[in-house]
Structure 1
Amino acid sequence: MSAPANSAAERDNAPADRWRTLWHKSTPYWFMSPYILIFGIFGIFPVFFMIFLSFHTWNPVAGLGSMEFVGLENYALSLTDPTLWQTLKNTILMALYSGVPQHLVALPMAYLLVQLGKRARHWLTTAYFLPYVTSTIAVSMIFFVMFSKESGIINQALTGLANGTLTGWAFGWINDLMPIGWVQENSLIRYSVSFVVFWKYVGFNIVIYTTGLATISDDLYEAAIMDGANAVQRFFYIALPLLRPFIFFGVTLTIIGNMNLFDEPYVLTRGLQQASTNGMTISNYLYRVAWEWLDMGGAAAISWILFVVIGAFTGFYFWFFGRRGLGGD
């Protein structure tokens, strides 16, 4: 008689056990639910809404009721817009002007810091890294003041060299160019913006390469020294080959970041009022289309065009340098 009674009790407790098991399994997800909810609202939803919006025209001031389906018209208009291609050209050129020097300077600088020893390396690496953690707006505003035509420290220093007793013979020709509009003249804007981007992010790459060099065994350097290799040879034949994964990582971040340039050109050209041709990046143009012309559909289409361009550049880099960059054959 006891066995049937136990079986009945187990059947009665089975639903409770299932609920208890389900509760225990779902508990981690309940703790994660605030993050999942926030990420879904601010991360996932905007992506799908931008896809949806790129096929519509919409003036946000008029409300959601003004949204009208236009199919691929936004993409067609954007791809035939000469301003879009000009801004894309500006973006690519500034990405090259600022990105290539970052790594050409960061690699030997990181190698030099490692050779100086741990104490000097830590202090100098921190100093080089400070511009990266400084507010981009603050950095851009400081350089905007420095680039001023009349009172900027750069023009003042060049004038001092041109009029100096000891330096006038070599720099006197600079007076014929004064005042130089570093961020006022279209022919110089790209170089000025690129220099600011270079100055801000070169320290980040120095940290990456310093970290990579610290992982290389000293035994390799000692063996090279015994074979008669000097510092330059050790850099090219030991450090550079073993840094390939770090170079691949750093260049990938540079491609993605420089193709999204917005803050530096926007601040340096005072909201693009002075950048009529060469100072506007595609991100700046996207901002103008969206928030000055209130064409959210066109801006959404431009954003996806930019996404495809960045994906194409990154994909080409992965394909061309990927296996070698990650240490493969």
Structure 2
Amino acid sequence: MSQRTLDPAGARDGEAIASPPRAGRPPGPAPAAPRPWRERRAAWDARLAPYLYVSPFFLVFAVVGAFPLVYTAYVSVHDWSLLGGKGDFVGFQNYRDVWANPYFSKHVVNTLSIFVLSSVPQVVVAVVLAGLLDNQLRGRTWWRMSILLPFVVSPVAVAIIFGSVFGDRYGLLNELLGTVGIGPIAWHTDRLASHVAIATMVNWRWTGFNALIFLAAMQAVPRDLYESAALDGASRVRQFLAITLPMIRPTMIFVVITSTIGGLQIFAEPRLFDETTARNGGSDRQFGTITMLVYDFGWQLRDLGRASATAWMLFVLIMLIALVNLVLMKRIGSLAGER
């Protein structure tokens, strides 16, 4: 039997000529034409642009953050002198030496005490100030700017001012206490009194800054919630506790964590608190902090190995306390939301 073939000349007008499919390849749509280079560039720009925008932060962090952290860990396991340079590998011997140091435990307790006395009142007062500034006050722009002024003052100037306020013999505060029959307080020699004085310096500088952060979060709360609560008869205090605080919980977590990091790394205030004995944290190390111990190991004893080990122990302490604060804040926020 002969096979009929399709004559192209005999095809009807406008009728496509079918071509037999290739062996082993099913018939399908024709491949799409390549996109113009402008479309390809726009697609790559949409994919890479976000990473390019955030890359400067990661580059700077890698240089000034991650690399010093890793390099400090490397120095902490070596016998490293400030003048002699790198020595032998000693493992965790530097950590054991720092742990056995008679002043280490005292500096840890001082750091935790100053941290509690500064961070807790700082956050509480900042929330209250932000709640007051969130109302329709006269001259509220001036008030908002005024609470930020202590933050821009140099720590050296703050130390000089509060050094006169908390002077042991001729301090302004002791003079005021004497007018009401209270004897002078040894702000520089008494351990707890010195912690209160240093914490007051820290609170004076940072409370206004945290208040502005809280204020920005409060202004983002929808006003419809307050109007509905007011129609239901809720007072201003009830609105603040039931609406404002739960709505600004993420901001409170952020402020608590940053206050924890800054409070445990305190150095300038205790270092400048007393011109004569503040180099070592007081005559009996009564207000010395962990960062001051790092300074002593690194620059006075010129032992960078033990200084790096102390810095890493402080890093671990900060991480632990920050995680505890994070869990507590989330727990408190969830309980408030359930209520």
Of 79-88 and 288-297, the range deviating more from structure 2 = 79-88
Residue deviations 1:141-179 (CA, integer Å, cap 9, x gap): 2111222223322223333xx2xxxxxxxx22x1xx23x
CA, structure 1 residues 328+288, in 2 after alignment: closer, same or farther (shift >3 Å)? Answer: farther
8 Å Cα contact 1:149-1:155 kept in structure 2: yes
Structure 1 counterpart of 2:68, one-letter code? P
Task: Point out 4+ residue stretches in structure 1 off by more than 6 angstroms.
Answer: 32-39, 326-329
Q: Aligned AA for 1:123?
A: W
The answer to whether the Cα contact below 8 Å between 2:188 and 2:194 also exists between their aligned partners in 1 is yes
Aligned length: 288
Q: 2:297·2:304 contact (CA, 8 Å) conserved in 1?
A: yes
Question: 1:188-211: CA deviations, max 9, x gaps?
Answer: 111111111111111111111111
TM-score by length of 1: 0.78
Q: CA deviation at 1:275?
A: 4.6
Which of 117, 120, 139 is 1:97 aligned to?
117
1:289: how far off? Answer: 1.3
**Residue of structure 1 aligned with 2:273, choices 268, 287, 290:** 268
Instruction: Give the whole-Å Cα distance in 2 for the aligned partners of 1:215 and 1:131.
Output: 25
Distance 1:94 1:205 in 2: 18
What is the match of residue 49 of structure 1?
71
- Corresponding residue of 1:6: none
Matches within 5 A, 1:1-329: 42-62=64-84, 64=85, 67-117=87-137, 120-159=139-178, 162=179, 171-172=180-181, 174=182, 177-178=183-184, 180-270=185-275, 271-273=278-280, 274-322=282-330
Greater displacement, 246-255 / 145-154: 145-154
> Could you tell me whether the CA contact under 8 Å between 2:130 and 2:212 is conserved in 1?
yes
- Output the CA distance in 2 between the equivalents of 1:137 and 1:233: 42
| Contact preservation (8 Å) 2:246, 2:333 | no
Structure 1 201/275 Cα, relative in aligned 2: closer, same or farther at 3 Å?
farther
Report the 3-state secondary structure (helix = DSSP H, G, I; strand = E; otherwise coil) of the residue aligned with 1:139: helix
TM-score normalized by the length of structure 2? 0.76
Q: For 2:107 and 2:141, locate their aligned partners in 1 and report how far apart those are by CA, in whole Å.
A: 40
The gaps in structure 2 that reach 5 residues or longer are 1-40
Q: Which AA in structure 2 matches 1:288? A: D
Gaps of 5+ in 1: 1-20, 163-170
RMSD of aligned residue pairs (Cα, Å): 3.0
Residue deviations 1:90-149, cap 9 Å, x none? 1111111111111221112211111134x6332112111111122122211211122222
Structure showing greater Rg? 2
- In 2, the alpha carbon distance for the partners of 1:85 and 1:258 equals 17
% same residue:
32
**Distance in 1 of aligned mates of 2:203 and 2:126:** 10
Assess, with a 3 A threshold, how the Cα gap between structure 1 residues 37 and 245 changes in structure 2: closer, same or farther: closer
Contact 2:264 2:318 in 1 (8 A): yes
The offset of 1:43, in angstroms, is 4.1
Q: Cα offset for 1:252?
A: 0.9
The equivalent residue for 1:14 is: none
Q: In 2, Cα distance between the equivalents of 1:244 and 1:44?
A: 29
Instruction: Give the letter for the 1:213 counterpart.
Output: M
1:272 corresponds to which letter in structure 2? R
